[in-house]
Amino acid sequence: KDALDEFFIDRKFGVFIHWGLYSVLAGRWQGKTTPYIAEWIMKRERIPVKEYEKIASQFNPGNFDADEWVENIARSGARYMVVTAKHHEGFAMYHSKVSPFNVVDATEFGRDIIGELSIAAKKYGIKFCLYYSHDQDWHHPHGFGNDWDYRPQDQDFDVYFNEMVLPQVRELLTGYGSIGMIWFDTPFSIDKAKSRRLCDFVHELQPACLVNGRIGHDLGDFSEISDNGVPSTVVEQAWETPLTMNDSWGYKVDDNNWKKPQTLVRYLSGIVGKGGNCLLNIGPDGDGNIPEQSVEILDSIGSWLRINGDA
Ligand code: JFZ
């Protein structure tokens, strides 16, 4: 069986984790709630890079416990997890040698989060996967998307791609064991040659690592459908849908629009029934706690699967 079958037949349900410096802000800036998804706060509020870097000095999640997180994930019945190694904010949640803007070198906390989670995932039999923002990077002078610190005419995406994306993807695919898939996102500016280069690069480093559809230009090993979407009929080719429990991916203290546990059980069974994979998101807070509503939802799905999902 190839890697795609292993995923899309044996591992239908995964947990997505959005965690980064934005989690510390919790969707609030200068006393008010940001109107959009919390992990977009830097762009939405046009927070200067120098200002945003200061959040790293506040990042010290005393309640982060990789085993406890993964234990919750395993209990839900999920068989894979996808963690943000670097989101659009540009902050690496692992010890990168490519940029000092990472969790080990830029925080008091100083622990390699991706490393700890990769070890815990292995222990619980959860396939470990990584999210990497390969196009938008609001911190890097040549990444896409920051027009409040940098002038677009001074930017050269090739520099970002060659000096940041490829070296960081190499670190991630050589430093943390076997990676089930790498989840790229928002291919707004990347050209087809570079999407292809990146896709090949992943497969050269780890032939069994899947590449999701959002690498751009319809490349990648399977398609990603719109967030929270469920097609009306069976789709035979491998696909996945990412799903939120409230209306934000990153932790947002003022977003209490939680879906009911039974609603999410219906989403899960609907998606799997149409041939898809369900990637359900949690957004831990800045102290490393998984919101209690999310724990409850994961528990409910786990009980439902234990009753109804076993042969
Ligand atoms: C992207 C990110 O910008 C967001 O922060 C989050 O990580 C999410 C999982 O992915 O946002 C998207 C990308 C694509 C769609 C919607 C939101 N889409 O195709 O519907």
Interval 63-112: pLDDT, tens: 999 999 999 999 999 999 999 999 999 999 999 999 999 999 999 999 99
pTM over 0.95: yes
89 touches ligand 1 (CB under 6 Å): no
185 touches ligand 1 (CB under 6 Å): yes
**Closest residue (by CA) to atom 13 of ligand 1?**
186
**Closest residue (by CA) to atom 3 of ligand 1?**
186
pLDDT at 64: 98
Label the pairing between strands 127-132 and 181-183. Answer: parallel
pLDDT at 1: 65
Query: Is the Cβ–Cβ distance between 101 and 91 less than 8 Å?
Result: yes
pLDDT at 228: 78
249 touches ligand 1 (CB under 6 Å): yes
| Cα(229) to centroid(ligand 1), Å | 12
- Phi, psi values for residue 117, rounded to 5°: -70, -35
Residue 54 falls in which region: left (phi positive, over 0), alpha (psi -120 to 50) or beta? alpha
- 41: amino acid identity, one letter: I
Q: Which of 179, 167, 187 is nearest to 203 (CA)?
A: 179
Among 186, 215, 239, 243, which residue has the most ligand 1 atoms within 8 Å of its CB, making it the best to mutate? 186
Residue 15 has pLDDT above 70, yes or no: yes
Reported as a single tens digit per residue, the pLDDT across 104-139 is 999 999 999 999 999 999 999 999 999 999 999 999
**Span 1-28, average pLDDT:** 94
224 touches ligand 1 (CB under 6 Å): no
- Tell me the β-bridge partners of 16: 82, 281
- 177: amino acid identity, one letter: G
What number is the ipTM of this complex? 0.97
Cα-Cα-Cα-Cα dihedral sign, residues 49, 55, 57, 60? negative
pLDDT > 90: percent of the chain: 94
